[in-house]
Structure 1
Amino acid sequence: MMTDGAALNRWRLILGKNAGQQLELDTARLARMDDALDFLYGREAGEDVRDRDPQGGHGSSQLTVARWLSEVRQLFPQETAEILQRHALDRYQLTELLADREVLEKMEPNQALLETVLSLKHMMRGPVLDTARRIVRRVVEQMTEKMRSEIQRSALGKLDRTSRSSVRSLRNLDIQRTIRKNLAHYDTENHRLMLEQVYFNGRVKRYNPWRVILAVDESGSMMPSIIHSAVMAGIFAALPMLDTRLVIFDTQVVDLSGYVEDPVETLMSVQLGGGTDIAGALRYCESLISMPHRTMVVLVSDLCEGNSRQNLYGVCRDILESGAKLVALTALDENAAPAYDRSTAQALAGMGAYVGAMTPARLADFMADVMRE
């Protein structure tokens, strides 16, 4: 049970420095916590109020962004520190957090930081950008491991009866994939490629695989779905029964199928913002269809078309009439909480497209159901 003193200290921290004369904090640690909170949330009072310090400039006025981040990580539980870090970036635009390599390296790698890095990577240069890329890779690897496990447990995982071979023979060596996956370990001083992992091909050839074409809208509101789409595309690329293509678009279309096995490269290629030409992207996807009855076009978008809806409806109708499957996902992430153009969604559903929001595991199950038909 919280004591009266502890309760008063908590209220003092909530009320901030304006309550300092009425409520005094008990310890130096609590005073440091107060300084850290004031450094961030004191911005609500405006710069003119924050700049006034009749006692001669103690506490939060001495904090820099780097020092503040260090204090937050030392003084608060990890979950609270992550919330403060997120508020600093999203609510108060403390982009200095991402302009200093040392500061960036201290930040907790998670999806919230990944989203912020991808939004601001155009502002980064040199060592800071290199550090940001390492953060992206670390978070992507964590997400890949989790999502791969979910997909393996899904109906799609049950359909996958083949995988990359565990038989380590020269005959099965996948040279190109081994080199590409180990480039990060290249020893520039001795000019040698250090192999952290060697990859081998399975002995079972792909026979009439399903072609899955992921078309991902790179508008800013779609960021969580973009991240999950890139990671899923990388997982799909390793499944022998799938031939995976990845396209990102705004008003232009960029085919990233050559990087589909590396979600980091995919995400670092994303340029958020701009207009949206869904029809143009789907017309490009239509050109990738060679066996319609074994092709699934998965559009990940909020369906806010920047050009004529009639053009969009026309290309969607052409894809469906060819015999290919069309899936319009208004959200693809762990929350599957979409914000989208409902009239466009209703029109596409009326044509026979599947329209909805899905978690990655649910998409894997859905794809398996389609393949069984």
Structure 2
Amino acid sequence: MNEAPNDKGERERRWRLAVGGEDEALQQGDDQRLSNALTMLYGEGDGPGASGGSGGGKGRGGLGRSAPSVARWLGDIRQFFPTPVVQVVQRDAMERLGLQQMLLEPEMLGAVEADVNLVATLVSLRNVMPAKTKAIAREVIAKVVAQLMERLEQKTAEAVRGAIDRRRRTGRPRFSDIDWPRTIQANLRHYQPEHRTVVPERLVGFMRRQRRLVDLDEVVLCVDQSGSMAPSVVYASIFAAVMASLPTVKTKLVCFDTAILDLTEDLADPVEVLFGVQLGGGTDINQAVGYCENRIESPAKSHLILITDLYEGGDSEALVARLARLVGSGVNVIVLLALSDEGRPAYDPQLSGRVASLGVPVFACTPDQFPDLMAAALKREDVLAWAAKADIKAIRSDA
């Protein structure tokens, strides 16, 4: 098949960009900028921010000490690629070129494409940031938090807000409370043959149980803030803030490494919560679970969501015994090995198997799955059955 001249030229251009180097055909305009930007990170060159121009030298350069140069480099990346690709390139730059150091510069923060991973990095660096940079970092984090709240808040609120009382019915149900079999049966005379569907004139649904404050379920999110769990901390903080705004549950947030940080009082401001966590350090899960155990008011109405990779730096025997005691007292214990977009965690398989043998569900889930998980937990449904339906692989008790 003959190839149109324009198509052939575009293919040759893309090949030159992929191969890189000092091709004279690329020494013009945007193509040259794009080639240089990629070469700085993935090919031979001086690296963004290094002195002496862009991309002509040999060897793997570093970032140098020029934040404005790095900011210009990131600006080029943002111009030529969509946001998901920009975020991948930024993560590569963090790993390959030590970009974290440059995040301490205000000029740098103005150029980055913010995402959950960047938020985690900024939180981990906040104690070494100059005051001016910290103020900009807070703005960046607030922007990402607002985006996440917009994405996750409505679904979480609908999933968590009140248990459904199936003994009482209403003709004005919320959409999620409609009893579809009874609604269809009640509206069969409104069947439309040309559309092969029923147009319901009357809805039949379930009423929600009105619950007094003393009857509220209690949700305790106990989150490992060691470095490997950073994205999980960000998402858990968002969900805790959303649930704390609902009048149907009492929500507590506890973060831990070898120390314990109770952030429950800050849940009205998720940005403040994130600036309160201490990413990095060791791990003492047993101590943290012990703290949560002492904060639980009514075991039969309490749900402990322990978010950790179960790499215990403390007393694992005591941890298993403590979790067994909580389960025996009626607490609904669930262990999430990760709460992240990837949903593929590294974890301690031996301790995970021992915890699973207590009848505790142990698995990882994504942020989009978490609201449905909480709905299943609050209804005291079989969480392992829910996970199987959601195609989530849980840890087996004999692992």
Which residue is equivalent to 1:362?
A: 372
Per-residue deviation, residues 120-159 of structure 1 (Å, max 9, x unmatched) = 22331211101101111111111112111222343x3463
1:4 corresponds to which of 4, 8, 12? 8
| 1:299 and 1:328 in contact (8 A); partners too | yes
2:331 corresponds to which of 320, 324, 327? 324
Residues of 1 paired with 2:87 and 2:259: CA distance?
Answer: 35
**What amino acid is aligned across from residue 121 of structure 1 in structure 2?**
R
Range moving further from structure 2, 208-217 or 68-77: 68-77
Residues of 1 paired with 2:297 and 2:75: CA distance?
Answer: 55
Which residue is equivalent to 2:29?
A: 28
| 2:109 and 2:136 in contact (8 A); partners too | yes
Superposition CA RMSD, Å: 3.2
Which residue is equivalent to 2:114?
A: 109
Which residue is equivalent to 1:262?
A: 269
SS at match of 1:331: strand
Shift in Å at residue 301 of structure 1?
0.2
**What amino acid is aligned across from residue 14 of structure 1 in structure 2?**
A
Shift in Å at residue 102 of structure 1?
2.9
Matches within 5 A, 1:181-330: 206-330=213-337
Per-residue deviation, residues 145-194 of structure 1 (Å, max 9, x unmatched) = 2111222343x346389xxxxxxxxxxxxxxxxxxxxxxxxxxxxxxxxx
SS at match of 2:215: coil
Residues of 2 paired with 1:80 and 1:292: CA distance?
Answer: 46
Range moving further from structure 2, 266-275 or 116-125: 116-125
Gaps of 5+ in 1: 55-59, 162-202
Per-residue deviation, residues 38-62 of structure 1 (Å, max 9, x unmatched) = 2222468999xx99958xxxxx999
TM-score by length of 2: 0.72
Aligned length: 323
Which residue is equivalent to 1:88?
A: 93
Assess, with a 3 A threshold, how the Cα gap between structure 1 residues 361 and 204 changes in structure 2: closer, same or farther: closer
Assess, with a 3 A threshold, how the Cα gap between structure 1 residues 30 and 361 changes in structure 2: closer, same or farther: same
Shift in Å at residue 217 of structure 1?
0.3
| 1:260 and 1:266 in contact (8 A); partners too | yes
| 1:160 and 1:240 in contact (8 A); partners too | no
Residues of 2 paired with 1:289 and 1:153: CA distance?
Answer: 25
**What amino acid is aligned across from residue 10 of structure 1 in structure 2?**
R
Which residue is equivalent to 2:126?
A: 121
| 1:152 and 1:158 in contact (8 A); partners too | no
SS at match of 1:370: coil
Shift in Å at residue 306 of structure 1?
0.7
Assess, with a 3 A threshold, how the Cα gap between structure 1 residues 345 and 293 changes in structure 2: closer, same or farther: same
Question: Which structure would you say has the larger RCO, counting Cα contacts within 8 Å and 6 or more residues apart?
Answer: 1
SS at match of 1:212: strand
Range moving further from structure 2, 324-333 or 68-77: 68-77
| 1:109 and 1:139 in contact (8 A); partners too | yes
Specify which structure has the higher proportion of helix: 1
TM-score by length of 1: 0.77
Residues of 2 paired with 1:85 and 1:52: CA distance?
Answer: 18
SS at match of 2:132: helix
Per-residue deviation, residues 206-230 of structure 1 (Å, max 9, x unmatched) = 2321111111000111112111110
Shift in Å at residue 300 of structure 1?
0.4
Assess, with a 3 A threshold, how the Cα gap between structure 1 residues 325 and 75 changes in structure 2: closer, same or farther: closer
Per-residue deviation, residues 250-294 of structure 1 (Å, max 9, x unmatched) = 111111111122221111122222111110111111111221111
2:148 corresponds to which of 128, 139, 143? 143
